[in-house]
Chain A
Amino acid sequence: MAENSIIEVKDLTIGYGERVVMRNLNFSVKKGEIFVICGGSGCGKSTLLKHLFGLYAPMSGDILFKGKSMVNSSEGEVAEMLRDMGVMFQGGALFGSDTLLENVMLPMQEYTDFSPELLERSARFKLALFNLSGFEHFLPSEISGGMKKRAALARAMALDPEVLFFDEPSAGLDPRSSASLDQTILDLNASLGTTIIIVTHELDSIFTVAQRVLFLDVEKKTMTALASPQELKNDKSNETVWNFFNREPF
């Protein structure tokens, strides 16, 4: 295992059925890093993310979480690993019949033996972290898209995971909400040391939060670059990456 890496991807090939989406992926994510996966629409960013937290099984290759294979582990072992991960889905994926407070409390109720008071205090704190104080008893259908994203983030943070996965966090948000979310990501990383893996193609967000960026090329069906966002923007040797980071039209 590479030194200080929390997730390591080895010769990974992913896809659906017989169709290969990405192949020969090799990279590692360092502990405490903000790591961005980007690429053009439909290149397989979200698919890769779902493989990283064990939702899908890869066609071949391996994913190591803290040195342990997720691919070759039993369901129970993967479930144990998932307790150290939090996921914020693109649309929030909040449970519609539960209030925001209940949504955030759910993972804690399942995985801890906290007293009801501590459960609720903790859930309220998580909601307050994302400026949702006062909305604890609202249903997801009663709040805006940006608030849903923040509530989803609060739920992803419920167990204070070591790794947080974000699928298109800024999608559909206004610039200020998007900037606030970026700031929250930076704060979480700074205060808790949480490793954060983000799938996005929002350049503003990438330049604000990313420490390293993995670029997936839809044509070549593999990763073609892994560096800091500034390095990728200035690197003219890779035309696809340069075009992407400099917003060159097709």
Chain B
Amino acid sequence: MSESSFVITREKTPEGLLLKLQGALNLQTAEKALSDLSSLIKSGEKLSLDLGGVDYIDGQGVAVMIELKARCAARKAGFEIASKSAVCEKMLGLVNTDKLLPELPVYRRHEGLFEQIGGATVALCEDLKEIVRFVGECSIMIWEAVLSPSKIRWRAVLTTLESTGVEALPIVCMIQFMIGVILTVLGKSVLGMYGATAFIPDLVAIALAQELGPLITAVVLAGRSGAAYAAEIGTMQVSEEIDALRSMGFEPGHFLVLPKMLAAGIAMPCLLIFGNIVALVGSIIMCLLTTDVTLPAYVREVYKAVSFSMFTEGLIKAFFFAVLIAGISCMRGMQVKGGAESVGRYTTAAVVSGIFITILTDALFTILFHPPF
């Protein structure tokens, strides 16, 4: 845009000041014009503007006039536009500028502490209600699927199984390998103090089979597949694909959520088995390198330490974690409203809720399998 010039000349009148404006009142000159004109406002005096010399005025120029009038009113000074050029007449006539005059409302309302706490509590209660409703819906859906498995969209289950299971295998194995190494190093430093390094395999195997294996795999599932489920369904929500499904008589829960829950429920125990084997490999390597434990001794100890019930406990946990993570992630996706920002927000919420529900369920299972009382 070419450089614009803007000039103000003052003339004293009996009521106040007459300001003759000349040049262009636009994006380039607006801020300076407002600041110069505002400095001339005097309480109790009248500011008259002669816009006859203004040869160009755009939206910013009109905004200057509106703000100037508001400032005059605030300082109890008079304001009038004494004359206008043709361009000013046209621009100022586009809208009723008087309607835009009331004081600007507070641009962003700041909530007080109690309002924030109250709002968050209400939101939490609403969220819990939604989770309970969704769990109920999913339970009915699963029960109906058990009664008539032919109605399940098995092709969608297989596709999701590939992305949730097969494609997650490398990252799960890599993480579990490192967990095996870490547990071994920790076991050596603690058990070594008592000369009990021979029990490192017991520690690692029990921890992996019962707790860490399902937990770590669930966290990976929540972060990887849970986020993907929420983003996918959320985007479908934004682009009205969910509405389209409903309009065709499909139940989105049955169509989208059930295959994901089933796929996750199948994939997770498999991932757990593979992950635990790799974790044991990591532990064996570390043991052979840093302790006197031999390979036959390690295998013997693991065989002795891990019972069938421990193994199944881990698998049961893994199945429930997966179904819950998939379900809650899909629920978050369904909650998306609006646009891209909402998809991001609910995807994050899906991961957080997935991890939270995993740990909560783990605590319940631990109490159930090992009653403390």
Which A residues are closer than 8 A to B by beta carbons? 83-84, 95-97, 101, 112-118, 120-122, 124-126, 128-129, 133, 139-141, 157, 159-160, 162, 187, 190-192
- By a CB distance below 8 angstroms, the chain A residues around B335 are none
Cα(A124)–Cα(B60), bound, Å: 11
Q: Is B94's beta carbon under 8 Å from chain A?
A: yes
- Given contacts A128-B99, A129-B94, whether A157 and B67 have CB atoms under 8 Å apart is no
Q: Check: B31 CB closer than 8 A to any chain A CB.
A: yes
**Quick one: given A115-B31, A125-B100, are A97 and B1 in contact (CB under 8 Å)?**
no
Chain B, residue nearest A123 (CB): B63
Check if A124 sits within 8 Å of B100, measured CB to CB. yes
In the complex, chain B residues 235-282 whose Cβ is within 8 Å of any chain A Cβ: none
- Cα–Cα distance between A233 and B70 once the two chains are bound (Å): 51
Residue B104 interfacial (CB < 8 Å): yes
B339 & A121 in contact (Cβ 8 Å cutoff): no
Q: How large is the interface on B (under 10, 10 to 19, 20 to 34, 35 or more residues)?
A: 20 to 34
* Complex Cα gap A142–B30 (Å): 32
- A129-B95, A140-B339, A191-B90 known; A118-B63 Cβ under 8 A: yes
**Contacting pair B27 A121 (CB below 8 A):** no
Assess the A118–B67 pair: CB atoms within 8 A.
Answer: yes
Besides A114-B60, A121-B66, A121-B104, 9 new A-B residue pairs in contact (Cβ under 8 A), listed by A number: A97-B340, A121-B64, A121-B70, A121-B100, A125-B62, A133-B100, A162-B1, A191-B87, A192-B91
Whether B338 is near chain A, meaning CB under 8 Å from some CB there, is yes
CB contact under 8 A between A140 and B107, given known A118-B67, A124-B100, A128-B95: no
Most B-side CB within 10 Å, residue of A124, A133, A192: A192
A84 with B1: CB separation less than 8 A: yes
- Once the chains bind, are A141 and B34 in contact (CB under 8 Å)? no
- Residue B115 is within 8 A (CB to CB) of chain A in the complex: no
B-side contacts of A139, CB under 8 Å: 338
Smallest distance from the beta carbon of B260 to chain A beta carbons, Å? Answer: 25
Question: What B residues does A97 contact at CB under 8 A?
Answer: 338-342
Expressed in whole angstroms, the Cα–Cα distance for A120 and B31 within the complex equals: 13
> Which of A121, A140, A141, A192 makes the CB contact (< 8 A) with B58?
A192
A101 to B337 CA separation, bound complex (whole angstroms): 20
Interface residue SS majority, chain A: helix
Cβ-defined contact, A118 with B338, below 8 A? no
Would you give the shortest CB distance from B105 to chain A, in whole angstroms?
8
Contact of A160 among B58, B94, B338 (CB under 8 A): B58
Once A117-B104, A125-B63, A126-B59 are accepted as A-B contacts, the answer to whether A160 and B340 lie under 8 Å apart by CB is no
Q: Chain A residues near B104 (CB, 8 Å)?
A: 117, 120-121, 124
Assess whether B26 is interfacial by the CB under 8 Å rule. Answer: yes
In the assembled complex, how far is the CB of residue A84 from the closest CB belonging to chain B, in whole angstroms?
Answer: 6
Please encode chain B, from 62 to 81, with 1 for each CB lying within 8 Å of some chain A CB and 0 for all others: 11101100100000000000
Distance A157 CA – B338 CA, assembled complex (angstroms): 24
Closest to A160 in B: B58
Give A122 to B104 CA distance when docked, in angstroms. Answer: 12
Contact partner of B339 (CB less than 8 A), chosen from A96, A160, A162, is A96
B341:A96 contact, CB within 8 angstroms: yes
**Complex partner residue of B27 from A95, A133, A141, A160, CB under 8 angstroms:** A160
Chain B's closest residue to A190 (CB) is: B90
Closest beta carbon of chain A to B55's beta carbon, Å: 12
For B97, the chain A residues whose CB sits under 8 A away are: 125
Chain B nearest CB: distance from A187 CB in Å? 7
